[in-house]
Chain A
Amino acid sequence: MLRGHTDTIVLASLLDRDRYGFEIYNRVLQKTNHLYELKETTLYSSYKRLEKEGYIESYWGDETQGGRRKYYHITERGRELYRQKLEDYEFTKKILERLFMEV
């Protein structure tokens, strides 16, 4: 069930600031206290998909030492998609809460 929400998780990671791949991956680990680990390959497919649809943009960082990092930036369209996904999720949560319970 969680895997279906990879795109939304990525969008949520970019709401406050631009991040690069490892930061996004790490944020998932930290936030879930290592309970949930998103596979990096899954994440990369997600970036490609989101970027192609115009929900995020990427740019190279200007690191002086070591390799360059590729940062992702959420677009206005991306924020719109995120809000919509959040609404969908809240609705689903409400329904499932009622249906999953015994009484």
Chain B
Amino acid sequence: MELKEFIDKAFEKYEESPELIDFKEELLTNLQDRLKSLEANGIKRTDALRQIQIEFADINKIADEMSLEKKKEVFEMRYMSLRNFVTKTRAAIYTILGVLTVFAIIISCFSYLFLGKVDAVTGVMMLFLAVPLAGFVYMGLTQETATRNPMRPMRAAIYAVAVFVFLFGVILVPIGPMSTFGEAKSLEGALAVLIPFALPSLGVITFLVITEPEHRKAWVLKEAEKQNEWAKNFETSGNAQTFGIMTAALWILAIGAFILLLIMKLWVFSWIPFVVALALMMVLLAYYMKK
């Protein structure tokens, strides 16, 4: 067995890391020189090779050490994941946003307690909630962690604005022109207020999510690849297709039930089909994964 082959074989079970590639190259040149010098001393090439291979029978000890260190590193990185990436400025912004959120919640609670009902005051105060929440969205998306690269500021800002518009719409519902609280709650009124805000913002968010590039870091992707092999087995087994069709049917039924409930003006119960569908989907997933 030639040296290169011997080295490759000795390390074949180890994950290729830059460190290991380095080490293999170092080892190869050193052993080539060693081989030359043994040959120069009159030892036959085959004997010299055998001698080296016997001596290096325990070479994997070093690779073990290296991969152990690497494991430790990855382990530490996971648990330190935020410590190194939250700068002082970011920490300050997070704190301010947190304070604003709590402030908004407290003010809302107070107005509710004093006025006895959720009315315009609460609604206006809730606006203060939408700003810090959108801020959190922006900060969260642009936050680098051990496992994720930050999103570009522009993209994150669009997300934040969409979230703000959506929340604004939601908050407007109780104080909207057509459905003042206390009156009979009218679905049409609520939808009329919600739709102009919710629909465009949900559309924007959906578009962004679908076109989202990969943010996970290289080492995470490598780990994920290992998991993927399992997923591939699931996909090729045909169970995935069956599962997909069943799920689609389930959701069509759920949406149908939802619309039916709306038409019957039973919109208080309209959320139930979705919960049931989600639960059934999980059961299906568990069933097909077991197969």
Contacts and interface: CB of A to CB of B under 8 A. Distances in A.
Interface of A: 20-22, 25-26, 39-41, 44-45, 48, 63, 66-70
B30 A20 contact: yes
A39 B59 CA distance: 10
Nearest to B58: A41
A70 B37 contact: no
B55 A67 contact: no
Interface string B181-207: 000000000000000000000000000
A44 B56 CA distance: 11
B32 A26 contact: no
Contacts of A67: 25, 28-29, 32
A14 B65 CA distance: 24
Given A25-B34, A26-B37, A48-B62, A41 B28 contact: no
In order of increasing CB-CB distance, the 5 nearest A-B pairs are A21-B30, A67-B29, A22-B33, A70-B26, A22-B30
Interface of B: 22-23, 25-34, 37, 55-56, 58-59, 61-62, 65-66
Nearest to B25: A67
Residue of A21, A22, A26, A48 ringed by the most chain B CB atoms within 10 A: A22
Contacts of A48: 62, 65-66
Contact of A66 (B32, B34, B55, B62): B32
A45 B64 CA distance: 11
Contact of B29 (A26, A39, A68): A68
Contacts of A70: 22, 25-26, 29
A25 B29 contact: no
B32 A45 contact: no
Contacts of A26: 37
B54 to A, nearest CB: 11
Contacts of A39: 55
B122 to A, nearest CB: 60
Given A22-B33, A48-B62, A67-B32, A40 B56 contact: yes
A25 B43 CA distance: 18
Contacts of B22: 70
B57 to A, nearest CB: 9
A82 B27 CA distance: 25
A40 B26 contact: no
A39 B62 CA distance: 13
Nearest to B34: A22
A25 B32 contact: no
A45 B34 contact: no
B30 A41 contact: no
A66 B29 contact: yes
Contacts of B23: 44
Contact of B65 (A20, A21, A45, A63): A45
A41 B37 contact: no
B45 to A, nearest CB: 17
